[in-house]
Chains A and B, each alone.
Chain A
Amino acid sequence: MNFWRVPLDAHEVDVPRGEVHILEERCKGCGYCIEFCPKHVLGVSKKFNAKGYHPPQVVKPEECVNCHYCEVICPEFAIFSVPVEEEEQDARGGDLSA
């Protein structure tokens, strides 16, 4: 996360981690999830789904903080995020100043 200065309690804050799942066949390519993801986790993929739309793809998987905004803004019920398990999160590290 980018701060203009690191908050004093940054080491105590657990930043949640998430994993984005995309149901490509439901996507109609509106691009809202890509545009409005606060962490810019998603990008347009080159592939087509069966209806000829470009679904999103995850370009920065490690950035996802499981905020679920893609899930609520998607008009197609085509994307959702799930929290990443605790052990996995420790292994990835929670460095806020990065």
Chain B
Amino acid sequence: MKTSQAQSHPLDPLLRTDRIPHIWCPGCGIGTAFATCLNAMKDSGIDLVQTAMVSGIGCSGRGAGYVKLDSYHTTHGRAIPFATGLKLANPKLNVVVFSGDGDLLAIGGNHFIHAARRNMDITVVCVNNFNYGMTGGQVAATTPHLAKTTTTPVGNPENPFNAPLLAYASGATYVARWTILHARDLTESITEALLHPGFSFVEVLSPCPVNYGRRNRIKPMDMLKIFREKTIIRNDARPTELDLDFDKGIVLGKFVHDTDRPSCVELYDKTCRPQER
């Protein structure tokens, strides 16, 4: 085996390599989700000079700091409003939101709903690691029922968000869910989402070994095995059947792909900027 050739990783041109190795823990899936996102950006053939990545706060929020494109690390939960602003100010820009479940679905929940309602032409990649990892593993809106976290030591009494249903019900026109183990399907989905005109939402299930995994006695490798064994790929499944329940099995796939609804920018131009006669 020749390893002497001085070659660099194929994603290095898209990374701020001086910041690598990144801060994500060993076994954390955010790195994989981030790499698939960058691969999808490369595969989709979009103009990367006209692309901006927006992140909120949290472990996944660090994504914007590692990508060597225009990027924007925003305040907690406000990644989508900042992205909406970018897109409205410059409709030619491809705007990708890369953030976590706590940021997008809990503190930024209403922004998420309303961006989906407007069918804002942005791509949202939501890394779901089932808890608030950066702040010490507190219960989140996506923690499965009975899972242990710092703030639910006897198990989570609540039910988690069905994020694809939330996106679909709010009006998102592209909805998919994968895990980091399904990296190829995930890359394909993010590529489609980037090329889709309208609000695209891709949920990525990811292990959090240090906070969620440790408290639930799941080693990172076991979490990936759970992702392999307890998931069912069913494209076009009904969004109401996508509960985040590992006992029932988690449904993965591409659920919604609606190309008929006009996007926010199109509707705005039609209504407020009528063609000059």
- The smallest C-beta distance from B274 to any residue of chain A, in angstroms, reads 47
- Is A21 in contact with B3, judged by CB distance below 8 angstroms? yes
How many A residues have CB within 8 A of the partner chain? 29
Main secondary structure of the interface of A (DSSP, over half): mixed
Considering only residues 174-188 of chain B, those with a C-beta below 8 Å from chain A are: 180-181, 183-184, 187
Please report the number of residue pairs spanning A and B whose Cβ atoms sit closer than 8 angstroms. 78
Chain B residue at smallest Cβ distance from A58:
B1
B1: chain A residues within 8 A (beta carbon) = 19-20, 58, 61
- Cβ-defined contact, A77 with B31, below 8 A: yes
Asked if B12 and A53 make an inter-chain contact with CB atoms under 8 angstroms apart, the answer reads: no
Q: Which of A35, A71, A73 has the most CB of B within 10 A?
A: A73
Interface residue B137 (Cβ < 8 Å from any Cβ of A): no
Residue of A whose beta carbon sits closest to that of B14? A77
- With contacts A21-B7, A26-B20, A72-B183 taken as known, whether A36 is within 8 angstroms of B29 at the C-beta atoms is no
- Determine if A19 and B187 form an interchain contact, defined as CB atoms under 8 angstroms apart: no
| Minimal Cβ-Cβ distance residue in B for A69 | B183
Q: A31-B221, A35-B221, A72-B35 are in contact. Are A19 and B2 (CB under 8 A)?
A: yes
Partner-A contacts on B (CB < 8 A): 1-3, 5, 7, 9-12, 15, 20-22, 24-32, 34-36, 39, 180-181, 183-184, 187, 220-221, 224
Q: Which 4 A-B pairs have the closest CB atoms?
A: A75-B31, A28-B26, A72-B183, A30-B27
**Chain A residues at the B interface, C-beta cutoff of 8 Å:** 19-23, 25-26, 28-32, 35-36, 51, 53, 58, 61, 69, 71-78, 80, 82
